[in-house]
Chain A
Amino acid sequence: MDDWKPSPLIKPSGARKKRSWYLTWKYKLTNQRALRRFCQTGAVVFLLVTVIVNIKLILDTRRAISEANEDPEPEQDYDEVLGRLEPPRRRGSGPRRVLDVEVYSSRSKVYVAVDGTTVLEDEAREQGRGIHVIVLNQATGHVMAKRVFDTYSPHEDEAMVLFLNMVAPGRVLICTVKDEGSFHLKDTAKALLRSLGSQAGPALGWRDTWAFVGRKGGPVLGEKHSKSPALSSWGDPVLLKTDVPLSSAEEAECHWADTELNRRRRRFCSKVEGYGSVCSCKDPTPIEFSPDPLPDNKVLKVPVAVIAGNRPNYLYRMLRSLLSAQGVSPQMITVFIDGYYEEPMDVVALFGLRGIQHTPISIKNARVSQHYKASLTATFNLFPEAKFAVVLEEDLDIAVDFFSFLSQSIHLLEEDDSLYCISAWNDQGYEHTAEDPALLYRVETMPGLGWVLRRSLYKEELEPKWPTPEKLWDWDMWMRMPEQRRGRECIIPDVSRSYHFGIVGLNMNGYFHEAYFKKHKFNTVPGVQLRNVDSLKKEAYEVEVHRLLSEAEVLDHSKNPCEDSFLPDTEGHTYVAFIRMEKDDDFHHLDPACQVPPYLGPGCAWQPPGPMEIVSEEEPLPGGGGPGFPLLSEEATLSHPNFLGATPKGGGSPRSRRTDMRPPPGPCGAGPGSESNLFIDCPEGLENRPNLEGLDFFLGWNAALRVGLALTQETAVPNPWTGPTGAHMLTQTHSDTLRHWTRPPLSILFVQISKAG
C-alpha cells in the first residue's frame, strides 16, 4: 500500500491496461476502504450505543436508588434540620499520660488547676473555709467529686473521714486549705491523712496553709505546707505544681458482669465519687431493689414527681428509699432537677429513671416555686391520663409502706371534695406523740413533704394563678393560704410515711433540723392496714369529732395551765380545755410562747426543765380508741409580752417559719437541747393577761403530751404589703363545724396525756 503511487501523468497510449490496473486497484482500494469505513462506523455506532446504554443504566440505577431510599424532597423531611455541630475535639492527639496539677492554698483564696483548666477557684470572702477536697479519675483526669469540709467547725472532720473512706482506691486526691482547717480536725481525721501518706496533714496547725496531691492507697504525688508564724497571722500562701501520671482505663474500672445494670453502674462510677459501696468492685450495693408488689395497687399508675436541686447525695439516698418502697413503679417516676447540674442527673441515670432539667427562673423561694410549677405541669403533661400525682422532694426518706398507705387512702381524694391533699407527713408526729401507724387524721393545712395532688385541683385552680416569678413566695405557704385552700383539709397519718433528712437547704440548717425533724417518728412497718379509712370522709369525721367532744372531761380551768397538775397524769382519757377567742387568730398569742422564735434558734433563752411538745393541729381518727388515743386540742394559747411585740410573724408549727430562718442561729451559741428542742415558755404574770379570763390553761411541764387535735391550722400568708421579703402573717382558721358547735368566742382544747414524762 505504501509503495503505491498514483500517477496522474500516465500517458494515454498505454492507458487501457494501465487503466484497468488502476481500476482494479481503485476498486480494491475503495472496497477495502469501504470495508474499513464500514468497520469504523460500526465500531463508532457500537461505542455510541454502549455509551447510551451506559447513561441509561446510570440514570436508571440512580432513580431506582433514590426511589428506594429518599429523593431530595423527603431528605428535607427526614433530615435533622439543625446542623449538628461536631463536638469539639479534645486538644492534642492521643490520650495524655500525665496531668499537670496546680494547687494553691492561702488565707483568702484556693484554686486547683488540672492541665491548665481551673477546676476549683474560691476567693469569696466569708465562704469556703476549711479543707477543699477534689477527687480525680486516675484514668481520665476528670473531676469526680468536689467537697469542702469546714474543719474549723465541729463534726465536719467526721464528714470528711466518711467521704475520704468512700473514695475508691487509686483515685487522685487533692486537698487544699482555705483560711483555717485545723481547729476541729480531730485525731481520726489526722490518722486518715497520715494513712494517705501526708506528712503535713496530720500536723496541720492553726491557720497553716497546706496543699496535697496523692493517690488514694498509693504514693503521695506532691505536698506543700506553710506554718502560721503566730496565732494572729496565717501561713504563707503555697503553690504546689506536680505531675500526676495517669493509669490505664482498665485499672480504673471494676470488672462487673456485663449486664444492663452494671453498665449503668460503670457509667456512674467512672464519673462521680463519694457514693460508697455503689462503686465497690467486690461487693457493690444493688441499684435495683425489686420490692414486693402491692396487691390491688391503686397508685400503680400515679406519676411520682421528685423535686430536686443540686444535692446529689440526698437525691441518691432518697431514690434508694423510694425504689425500695413496696408497690413502686419506676417508670412512673420523674426527677425534676432545678438547674443544669450533672451529678444529680448522673444519680438519676444510675437508677435508670427519667430526669428532667429545668433552667432556673428567679431567685430564692421564687425559684423553688417556679421549679415546682414547671415540674407539676410537666408531670401532668407527661401522664395525661393521671388523675393524681405524688410530689416528693429530694431530701425525704420514703417509708416502706408509702405506696400502700396511698393505695388505701387515695379513693378519699376522689370521693371527698372537701379534701385538699393526702400527705405522708404529720407535723406533730413526734416519737412520743405518734404511735399508731394505722391511724389517720384530717388536718386543716397542707403539710407537704410527700403528698398527693389532684389533677383537677392543679389544672383548674392552682396552675392558672400560681405565683409569678417576681413574687418571692414559698409555694407551700401560698398553697396554705385560705384563697387557695378554701377550707379544704388534708389526710395525714399518725406516724409519718416520710422523713425529712435534709440538713442543708434554702430554709433549713442543722439546728432547725435537729429541733424539728429529728424527733419525728417514721414508719418502718411494712404493709400496715389502715383503720376505718372511710370514716375520714367529712361527714363521718364530724360525727366522730362530736362524739369525742361529748365524752371528754373538762379540765379545771381555775388552775394555772403551767402547773403540772393541770393535766392529770392518766392514759387513754380525753380532756378538754377552753380558751377564749374573740377572733380567729387569737390562738396565736400562744404560739410564740410555745415555740422558740426563729431568730434565736432552738435552745436559746427559755429552757424549761424538760422536753415537751405542743401538738395543736390534728384531729384524731374516729374510732381510733385504745390506749394512747389521741386527743383533741384546739390550741394551746398563751402569750408572752416579749414575743408579741417581737415578732408579728411568728406562729404555727415550726415549719411555717422556715422562711424566717435565714441566718443560722449563730448568736445563740449553745447547741440544741438534749432531749427535745421545742420549748414552752411559761411566762410570768400569766394570770393577768386579759383575754384568757380565768380559762387559762397550760400544758404541764414534764408531761409528754399528746394534744390531739386541733381544729385549727396555721396558715401562713405571704404578705404582699410588707414587700418581697417572705415575711408572713399568720392567720388561723377553724373548722366550720366546730366553730358553730362551740359558738365563738369560746374555743376548745382537748388534751390527752399519753404518758408521764
Chain B
Amino acid sequence: MSRINKNVVLALLTLTSSAFLLFQLYYYKHYLSTKNGAGLSKSKGSRIGFDSTQWRAVKKFIMLTSNQNVPVFLIDPLVLELINKNFEQVKNTSQGSISQCTFFCVPRDFTAFALQYHLWKNEEGWFRVAENMGFQCLKIESKDPRLDGIDSLSGTEIPLHYICKLATHAIHLVVFHERSGNYLWHGHLRLKEHIDRKFVPFRKLQFGRYPGAFDRPELQQVTLDGLEVLIPKDPMHFVEEVPHSRFIECRYKEARAFFQQYLDDNTVEAMAFRKSAKELLQLAAKTLNKLGVPFWLSSGTCLGWYRQCNIIPYSKDVDLGIFIRDYKSDIILAFQDAGLPLKHKFGKVEDSLELSFQGKDDVKLDIFFFYEETDHVWNGGTQAKTGKKFKYLFPKFTLCWTEFVDMKVRVPCETLEYIEANYGKTWKIPVKTWDWKRSPPNVQPNGIWPISEWDEVIQLY
C-alpha cells in the first residue's frame, strides 16, 4: 500500500512541478520579452514613430513647461548626440513637415532636461499641474550649498531634481543653479528613506550620481520631432562635459574649524596678497581655458583650498598642475600675451617640465607638468644652481570641479591622498617654512641634468 502511495505522491508532485515549471517558463518568456523589448523595438524605432510613450511623454512635458513658463533646455546626452549627427535634419525639419520620429522615439527609460532655476518664477504651481496632466512626479531637495560657505546660515531647501513619470517613460529634470564663478551646478540625487526606490530605474540616470558643474551654455531653439525645444548651441561641447562634470564642495566646516584654531590672517599684506593671487589665478584660468588646457590646483594652492577654502596668505605663489599630455607649445606665448612673462623654465617636455610666470605684485605662477606612469603620477623639480633633479610622486587621481575664490576650477577628486602625498599626515598644521627640495614626503632625488643640456633645461629670465 505504502509503495503505491509513494508512487501516487511522486506522480502528483511531478505533475504539480511540471505545471509550475510551465507557469515559470511562461512567466520567464513574458519577462524576457519585456526586457528585450528595448532591443526589439529599437529596430522598429522609426516605425513606431509618434505613438511611442517616449515621444508622448516628452511632448506632454514640453507642453507643460511652456504653459507654466518653466525655463528648461534639453541636456540628454543621447539625444544631443543624435542631434549632432543629424544636425542637417534638425535644420530642415524646423521648416518642413516631419515624417519620422528620430530623436525622442528611441526607446529608453529617461529623457533628461535641465531647469534654469534662476529664471524660474512659478515654482509652486507647476508640480500640481504636472500631476493633473498625468505625470507622477518625485522632487528631490537638499540644502543650498551656496550657503555652506557662510557661518551658520540655514535656508529653506532648494530643489535639485525632479523626476516625472508618464507611463513607462520618465523625464529627469535636473535643476541647474547658478554659482559664483559663472557656472551652473546641479546637485547629487540622493534618495531619502521614504522614497520608493523602484519609482524609476535610478541607476540608469545620466545625471545626479554626483553633483556636477557645467559652463553656462548658450541656448538655441530647435524643432525636434515636431517639438520646440531649447538645446545648447554647441551640443557636443555639452556632451563632452558630462563625463568630467563631477563637482566637489570645499570643506567649509573644516575650514571654519581651522580658522578657529589658527585664526585668519587679516593684515593688510595678507589681504593684498590674496587679492593679487586671486587675480593671477583668474588670469591664468582664463588663458588656459582659452587654449583648452585642463589644469588643477596643485601644491600650496590646493592645500589652501582643501584646508581653509582660501588662498594661504604666506604661500607667495599660485601653483597649478597640468598633465603633460595636455601640454601645448603655445602656452608660454599665451601667458606672455596675457601679461605674464616667463620667469623660468625647467626641464623639457619629455622630462620634468616646470614653468614659472611672473605675475603682478611679486606673485609667481608655477605650472607643474605631471607625468603618468602605470601606478603613479609624478612631477619634476630642478635645482637651478646644481642641476639636480627631483621627483615628486603622487597616487593616481582623477579631476573634479570645485569652486575656489569665485571661480570654477579643477582639483584632484582624491584630494586628501594628493595632499597627504605632498604634505604628509600633518598637513592640517600650518607651516611657514617649506623647503621644496626636502620638506615634501614624496620627494625623491632623480639624478642630475647632464651639463650639456643645462642651457635647455634650466632657463632663467
List the interface of chain A (C-beta within 8 A of B). 36, 39-40, 42-43, 46-47, 49-50, 53-54, 57, 60-61, 64-65, 67-71, 74-75, 77-81, 84, 260, 329, 331, 336, 352, 354-359, 361, 370, 374, 377-378, 380-385, 459-460, 464-465, 468
Q: Which residue of A46, A61, A64, A374 is within 8 Å of B18 (Cβ)?
A: A46
Check if B179 sits within 8 Å of A384, measured CB to CB: yes
Contacts of A70 in B (CB 8 A): 197, 201-203
Select from chain B the residue with minimum beta-carbon distance to A65: B198
- Given A69-B201, A71-B203, A464-B271, 10 more A-B residue pairs with CB atoms under 8 Å apart are A39-B7, A53-B24, A57-B27, A70-B203, A78-B191, A354-B156, A355-B155, A374-B152, A381-B149, A464-B274
Q: Are A78 and B202 in contact (CB under 8 A)?
A: yes
Residues of A close to B271: CB separation below 8 A: 464-465
Give the residue among A352, A377, A382, A464 with the most B Cβ atoms within 10 A: A382
User: B117 — nearest CB in chain A belongs to which residue?
Assistant: A331
Q: With A61-B31, A361-B151 given, is the CB distance from A47 to B274 under 8 Å?
A: no
- Residues of A within 8 Å of B124, CB to CB, are 260, 352
A-B interface contact total, Cβ < 8 Å = 145
Are A361 and B14 CB-contacts (below 8 A) given A57-B24, A465-B271? no
Can you pick out 16 interface pairs between chain A and chain B where the beta carbons lie within 8 Å of each other?
A43-B11, A43-B13, A43-B14, A50-B21, A69-B203, A71-B203, A74-B202, A77-B188, A331-B123, A355-B156, A359-B152, A374-B150, A378-B146, A383-B178, A384-B181, A385-B182
B67 interfacial contact with A, CB 8 Å: no
Q: Does B436 contact A (CB under 8 A)?
A: no
Chain A CB within 8 A of B147 CB: yes
Task: Confirm or deny: B266 has a beta carbon within 8 angstroms of a beta carbon on chain A.
Answer: yes
Interface pair A68/B150, CB less than 8 Å apart: no
Measured between beta carbons, the chain B residues less than 8 angstroms from A354 are 155-156
| A74/B209 in contact, CB under 8 A | yes
Is A377 touching B150 in the complex (CB atoms < 8 A)?
Answer: yes
Q: Are B180 and A384 in contact (CB under 8 A)?
A: yes
Interface size class of B (residues with CB under 8 A): 35 or more
3 nearest A-B pairs in the assembled complex, by CB-CB distance: A359-B152, A356-B155, A384-B180
Q: Write out the residue numbers on chain A whose beta carbons fall within 8 Å of the beta carbon of B128.
A: 260
Beyond A382-B144, A385-B178, whether A46 also contacts B152 by CB under 8 A is no
Judge if B376 is at the interface, Cβ distance under 8 Å. no
| B contact residues around A57 at 8 Å (CB) | 24, 27-28
Q: Is the CB of A357 within 8 A of B193?
A: no
B35 within 8 A of A: yes
- Contact residues in B for A361 (Cβ distance below 8 Å): 151-152
Chain A residues near B210: list those with CB within 8 A.
77
Q: Mark B400-418, 1 if CB is under 8 A from A, else 0.
A: 0000001000000000000
Residues of chain B having any CB pair with chain A under 8 Å: 3, 7, 10-11, 13-14, 17-18, 20-21, 24-25, 27-28, 31, 35, 118, 120-121, 123-125, 128, 144, 146-147, 149-156, 178-182, 188-193, 197-198, 201-204, 208-210, 266, 271, 274-275, 406
**B154 in complex: contacting residue of A43, A60, A357, A377, CB < 8 Å:** A357
CA of A724 to CA of B188, assembled, Å: 45
Q: Which residues of B contact A39 (CB under 8 A)?
A: 7, 10-11
Nearest Cβ on chain B to A472's Cβ, whole angstroms: 18
Are B182 and A384 in contact, CB atoms less than 8 angstroms apart? yes
* Chain B residues near A84 (CB-CB < 8 A): 192-193
Taking the nearest CB of chain B, how far is it from the CB of A293, in angstroms?
A: 12
Is B152 in contact with A69, judged by CB distance below 8 angstroms?
Answer: no
User: A46 and B118: CB pair below 8 A?
Assistant: no
Q: Shortest beta-carbon distance, A329 to chain B, in Å? A: 8
Within the assembled complex, what's the spacing in Å between the Cα atoms of A405 and B106? 54
Q: How far is the CA of A184 from the CA of B278 in the complex (A)?
A: 63
Nearest CB of chain B from residue A128's CB, rounded to whole Å: 29
Q: Are B35 and A356 in contact (CB under 8 A)?
A: no
Q: A380: which B residues are within 8 A, CB to CB? A: 180
Closest to A336 in B: B153
Q: B266 is contacted by which of A64, A77, A331, A465 (Cβ under 8 Å)?
A: A465
